[in-house]
Structure 1
Amino acid sequence: MADSTLVFLVLGATLVAFVWGRFRYDLVALAALLGSVILGLVPGDEAFLGFGHPAVITVAAVLVLSRGFERSGVVDVIAEQLLRVGERLFLQLLVLVGTVVVLSGIMNNVGALALLLPVAMRLAREHDASPSILLMPLAFGSLLGGLTTLIGTPPNIIIASYRGSVTGDNFGLFSFTPVGAVVALAGFAFILLVGWRLVPQRAGKASTEAMFDTANYLVELRVGEESKANGLTLRELQQELEETIPVLAVVRNDKRRAGHAFFGTLREGDILLMEAGPEEMKLLEDKAGLRLGKDAEEEAEAEDDGGEASQIAEKGGEAEGRSESSTPEKGEEERDSKEAKKEKQEEKRGMDTEGLQLVEAVVRNDSMMVNRTVLQLRLHNQFGLHLVAVARDGGRLKQRLRDIRFRPGDVLLLQGGESELSESLATLGCLPLASRNLTLGQPRMLLVSLGIFAAAILAMLFDLLPAAVALSLAALVTLLVGVLPLREGYQALDGPVIVLLGAMIPVGQALETSGGAALIAEAMLAWGSDWPVIVTLVGLFVLSNIVNNAAAALLMAPIAASLASGFDASVDPFLMVVAVSASCAFLTPIGHQSNTLVMGPGGYRFGDYWKLGLPLSLVVLAVAIPMILLVWPL
């Protein structure tokens, strides 16, 4: 069997796996690489050279620099201003989407979205609006902003590097700007004026209470003398129940302790504040002997209320002889007193979650939680976190917590110690959605961070250093001077993207060396020989928009180069078409990480994306092709 046929079989299976989405894209890419080695398409001693490719190094450096911006407070300064925008939807979209477009040009677009996502959620909550109207435009804006510079998105870095291998000269930092800026501006204007009306509006999911309906499930359960829970630790209680029902707090002697920090044994009279529905309530009663009910003090108060009521009734006859005007006044006072006491008791019973460090977080594509359960992750033992609830597609999941396998885009309600929450979420690969405590960072580090980045940009502009070297040096200095701690630098690296790039680069080269790219180009040339070149460019745009953006750039770049050779034209416009198309994956939530990140918080369904994504893709196509031919003529 010819090598080109084998390459097509491997790539066909890879594309099907990408679209299916059952396995994470980095695992699919690694399987494609190893399969190519076994079939002899990629030499064994060259299998992992892709991980040292300049494109991979550049992407890694950009990720570290992006985290440095966050750490130094650069973006928080911007976010603080955004929160003042007010309640007009037009202005909210204008500043949010406009800001993410600009930020995505100077840092990784997924990082830019991750920084502004909590700001959008907070805006929606403060104005009692659904976040769905803001989040999809915000995600698509991050994709548009990535078009504008070399470092905005991985496809640009891949295309720039491939051009260097073909022509000996890479695209520069701002080579993408003339086309990318116009396309981004057109897409931004479309979203702002028309596109937001096409976004499916999901009702009332902006707040924690709306998404998880927490208040309806917070209950107080008392440990009685004969309760099985008496003398057990919380961990032993969960083992007894065979269920991970979260204990948010333990109240003892009027002192409340957060559940995650309570390590003693339960005693008679302890009150457990738990998050449980009717089925869990029955389980707690049957297996642990926990009961809903008033404590002795409340019962005494109730008895006193009853005694007072009976005394009033007994004295009813005496009241008949009194002045008629005084009777209703006294009756009103008594009613007011009883209502006030009732409200006081309800407030006492209805304990809230204040001070319990509850936080919402969305599961990222690269999270270690994906396709695993809470028991497999050992959230409490390993990370000190309690899982309270899980929301998917904008609604709370009703199944047992221990049975839920997490997916990218799931929104989790977690409880943990305030000091450990941030680190635990970062390790797990979750993005916090709760109101961010915006800090201005350290002014000195803010200026240092900007200075390091500016120096790298100048080195690239004046061709003093290659992009991979300049940005890697900037990332190293960022770590050395303390703008970003080393541990956070490693956490900033997006492992799945690095593996995807490192694995697919040799496979893309195999497509070229086997003659597969030339065969596809010949077929497209034969099909479009009677048509203008612009028609072929449109076809190339459509093909480059099918799968994951980085994978599309890696696979379509050799085909674009073969097409340019067949037309005896410059390779630049063909590569630019691939760069723009691969970065504009608006049609599905799996097309780009930004799309996946907003799926859970926005309550979107899989089929919601094309409603705005398809018209926006057509706008990008209509603007991009003429601009490419104008700036990069054939």
Structure 2
Amino acid sequence: MTTQSMFLPIIILLCVFSLFIYGKFRADIVALGSMLMLGIIGILEPMELLAGFSNPITIILASLYIVGAGIFNTGLVEKTFHPLLKWSEGSERRLMIVIMLSAGFFGGFLSSTGIVAIMLPIVMSTALKQRRSPSKFLIPLAFASGLGGLLTVVGTPSNLIINEVLTKNNYEPLAFFSLTPIGLITLLAALLLILFMGKKLLPHQHLAAKSSGKDLSAGELAGMYKVYDRLHYLQIPKHSDLVGERLSDLVLPINYEITVIEIKRKSKDKQLGLLSKHQNLSAKADEVFHPDDVILVFGEAEAVTRLTVDYELETRPFNQEEVKKHLANSKFGMTEILIMPHSDYENQTLRDIHFREKYQCSVLAINRKGEYIQADLGTEILKPGDALLIHGEWVNIEMISADLQDIIVLGSATEESDFVQEAKAPIAASIVILMILLLAFNVIPQVYTVLMAAFLMVITGCVRSMEEAYQRINWESIILLVAMFPLMAAFEKSGGLIQVSIWIEQIIGDTGPYSLLALLYIMTLIGVQFVSNIAITMFIAPIAYTVAVNMNYSPIPILVCVTVAAALAFSTPRASSTNALVMTAGDYNYKDFAIVGIGMQVLIGLIVIVTIPLFFPF
């Protein structure tokens, strides 16, 4: 390899991490672009370039997403979690213990994002029911779900990556529960910190101002989003040009910044020919306006006036109590939904995804980190963690609830959901138990075990179809992982890996292995606040292994320290998808994550640097 070609992989790697930190481009696109460049300029052969697709880690990670989908669909987490919540009634401390330990336990087998997606609505509902602020519990929920990944060797991609490094270098791979002692220590340390310092560290937002019920009522949501000031009743006379027009053709959100929420229409008894009571209709995209329809619209007074003049409409008196009945009743409801990280809706507009056409519901406002957006909703680009206030028929809100890979419904639509296959929960539990037993006793290779569990989830109907299985896989993480393999291979091939290892050895000198643990912990910790834990672990794990071997230390404790640090993406909202999910729901700001996150990182760092060598000697 020439001097020029030796520097090219290092330059590409620096560019890739710079773009990761910049954050304006998807991580998988950046990594995929680097992979293509390595192949086109001839640094790697095609087989080296595509090796990540056949790596067992890739198959295991994709299969675990499918296993998680089966658990999610069948309500297995809720079935386990709800009985524990009864024990917590009347005590904030008990509620915190239940939330963190439950999130941590399930985090050992499911993705942390999936855990938060399942538990977030339940935690919010429980907190509000107990007259407590959800902001006290959502950051601990997000952090505990990440720390739970340290309980098993398949709990996080980072664990799988360090295991791959050991296997590649002819070391015995870590057993399924090898990391469990360290995982328990970190989870308990986090729990104790929250229990004894939580009142000082965690914010207390006044979100629990409800008197009864499971969730915020429609009236409370409307008040929070300042909906009432923008509601108007308009009647459509027979001579209006609006008569006969299809709602979707008018493009009112674009042309007038107005959303039609509901249509009140006179119904006629066909047999008697007598006028009967009015019927309230959801403002569906294909709805055609009739003479004498009364429409409930949402928008600024100036825009409503313009619409009234243009279409010769008549204003009707506004009665707030009457509107409250229309916002929520046995047929219609209002709730919040959260945009999931990595969803298909990210960086799309409501118009792009045809939200009204798809779900037959209206979006009234967007809450983005405490800022309420009510104008130009149709063209507003959606971001992860955005909370959307929606209104529509309960049956359509339930349809949204089923779209779990893209959004989370924070409110409860009905007591029972046809979309949750609760009858299959025992089957899903049996599959998970079988997977754990096979992994724990290493009966067959890990990749076969996890792939078999995913296969069983599909054929038993816990995951409804292969199409759903593919939808539930987080392809951004998979492609990022696949693309990082050749990038790191090129970095090693260029000599960059050896050079960075030498620099670290020079920094450590004769200060001993604990100094090495501390340095790698800090390096990984800083990196994971800005870059995916997959990318950081892929970069630091080979370096950590090389330094440990060169300094005659066992690489196992060094690599374990790296994967612990990679699980602590706590100090900023953008550090992990779980942080992004709870930010809007808990009404947090950047300072809230920094205060709790940094304190937890320091405490856990001091503990694991001392305890890791007790379980994995140097």
1:160 offset after TM fit, Å?
1.6
1:226 offset after TM fit, Å?
4.3
Distance 2:479 2:473 in 1: 11
Mapped contact 2:244–2:288 kept (Cα < 8 A): yes
1:510 offset after TM fit, Å?
2.1
Q: Please show how residues 64-463 of structure 1 align to structure 2 within 5 Å.
A: 64-84=66-86, 85-86=88-89, 88-195=91-198, 197-204=200-207, 207=216, 208-238=221-251, 242-243=255-256, 245-253=258-266, 254-261=277-284, 263-294=286-317, 347-348=321-322, 350-354=324-328, 355-416=331-392, 418-419=394-395, 421=397, 424=400, 426=403, 429-435=406-412, 445-463=424-442
Residue 56 of structure 2 aligns with an amino acid whose one-letter code is P
Query: Scaled by the length of structure 2, what TM-score is found?
Result: 0.88
Distance 1:169 1:226 in 2: 82
Question: Which residue, 17, 39, 42 being the options, matches 1:40?
Answer: 42
1:39 offset after TM fit, Å?
3.8
Query: Deviations 1:548-568 (Å, cap 9, x if unpaired)?
Result: 111111111111111112211
What does residue 64 of structure 2 align with? 62
Secondary structure of the 1:374 match is: coil
1:597 offset after TM fit, Å?
1.2
Gapped regions of structure 2 (runs ≥ 5): 210-215, 267-276
Distance 2:477 2:207 in 1: 34
Kindly indicate whether residue 455 of structure 2 is the aligned counterpart of residue 476 of structure 1: yes
Change (3 A) 1:383 1:503: farther
Residue 51 of structure 1 aligns with an amino acid whose one-letter code is F
Distance 1:532 1:241 in 2: 65
Change (3 A) 1:625 1:45: same
Gapped regions of structure 1 (runs ≥ 5): 296-344
Change (3 A) 1:82 1:258: farther
What does residue 15 of structure 1 align with? 17
Deviates more, 1:140-149 or 1:348-357: 348-357
Distance 1:70 1:352 in 2: 33
Residue 53 of structure 2 aligns with an amino acid whose one-letter code is F
Query: Deviations 1:494-541 (Å, cap 9, x if unpaired)?
Result: 121111111112212222232212111100111110422211211111
Over aligned residues, Cα RMSD in angstroms? Answer: 2.6
Mapped contact 1:227–1:288 kept (Cα < 8 A): yes
Distance 1:584 1:535 in 2: 19
Mapped contact 1:76–1:438 kept (Cα < 8 A): no
Residue 536 of structure 2 aligns with an amino acid whose one-letter code is A
Query: Deviations 1:37-78 (Å, cap 9, x if unpaired)?
Result: 334333234323312221111111111112212222321212
Identical-pair percentage: 26
Change (3 A) 1:442 1:282: closer
Residue 626 of structure 1 aligns with an amino acid whose one-letter code is V
Count of equivalent residues:
585
What does residue 309 of structure 1 align with? none
1:405 offset after TM fit, Å?
0.8
Distance 1:427 1:180 in 2: 28
Mapped contact 1:248–1:356 kept (Cα < 8 A): no
What does residue 29 of structure 2 align with? 27
Distance 1:142 1:349 in 2: 40
Residue 621 of structure 1 aligns with an amino acid whose one-letter code is G
Distance 1:157 1:417 in 2: 44
Of Structure 1 and Structure 2, the greater helix share is in 1
What does residue 308 of structure 1 align with? none
Distance 2:132 2:371 in 1: 16
Question: Which residue, 494, 502, 510 being the options, matches 2:490?
Answer: 510
Mapped contact 2:370–2:587 kept (Cα < 8 A): yes
Mapped contact 1:392–1:600 kept (Cα < 8 A): yes
1:237 offset after TM fit, Å?
3.0
